[in-house]
Amino acid sequence: MSDLPERLSLREVGPRDGLQNEEPVPTAGKVALIDALSATGIGRIEAVSFVHPRAIPQMADAGEVWGAVAPAAGVRYSALVPNLRGAERALDAGFAELEVVVSASDTHNRRNLNRSTEESLDDLAAVVDLAHDRAASCQVIVSTAWGCPYEGDVPVERVLSVAGAALRHGADSLSYGDTTGMATPSRVTRLVGETRSAYPDVALNLHFHNTRGTGLANVLAALQLGVADFDASVGGLGGCPYAPGATGNIATEELVHMVEDMGVTTGVDLEAMIDVARQAERLVGRTLPSQVLRAGPRTRTVTATPIREV
């Protein structure tokens, strides 16, 4: 495993991608979750999204949440935006890092953003230009990169075409989203490999869901290709309101547990992240899917009960 990256950059997406798929939780609970995550050693947190409240009511209080968060030194915070109006709101709120999403699948893009993929790409340049004018960065997330619940498999060529358009419009980096948990290691290898061939200098982030149990295997496949930037969600929170069955991002504590044991540094305090996963579980009022949350790290031991002599 000596060819793996020495260190990962992790973006915690639970406060946004996680909570947008739950019943609405109180603003104070969201703020407490972000503040707790900020103390775990995680370097980046996707805090909120500035979408229309009718589309995703769980994010209706984005401005209030961000206004109450206590930003921690050394942590970078970002916001997801769907369009120019969302970007304006995020920048006005003080964010210096934006993510804008466009689906490789036209059907999913229409369900998610009420427009075609091409229409979203046409609007993208204005969003990127606004971010740059305000000294902010803008990452383009290409969702349904490994498949769509409505269209099925999405051709690699289609994903590369959307990614190329985003880069031509000035995107600072790319993220590929496995919105429906349809990725497998061989498919990850192909898409990442072809992206590296087509755009060798682009900064690439990967966002996997564990819907079909392949999330960490997909991470390993990407690690072996040198990818060192991943999203994860505390406790395995998450999904997609417009992708039926797309429950659960890979859990941050599970990703940290795996790669740290492989000698890849994350900077995250695993026990602290497990504690925050418990907090997230209480916040949403249901059992979260993380197995490391249930069992603890492999190094955790229990006291043996003395054997009674008979």
Provide the annotated active-site residues.
240
- Distance, in Å, from the CA atom of 280 to the CA atom of 236, rounded to the nearest integer, reads 10
Tell me the C-alpha distance between 64 and 228, whole Å.
32
Q: Supply φ then ψ for residue 100, to 5 degrees.
A: -120, 140
Rounded to whole angstroms, the Cα distance separating 73 from 39 reads 10
How far, in Å, CA of 59 to CA of 243, rounded? Answer: 18
Q: DSSP assignment of 9-71, as one string?
A: EEEE-IIIIIGGGSS---HHHHHHHHHHHHTTT-SEEEEEE---TTT-GGGTTHHHHHHH--P
DSSP state of 308: P
H-type alpha helices, the chain: 27-38, 62-68, 84-92, 106-113, 117-133, 156-168, 185-198, 215-223, 252-261, 270-284, 291-295
Collapsed DSSP state (helix, strand, coil) of residue 77:
strand
- DSSP letter (8 states) at residue 155: -
- Is the CB of residue 100 less than 8 Å from the CB of residue 51? no
CB of 197 within 8 A of CB of 190? no
Beta bridge partners of 103: 143
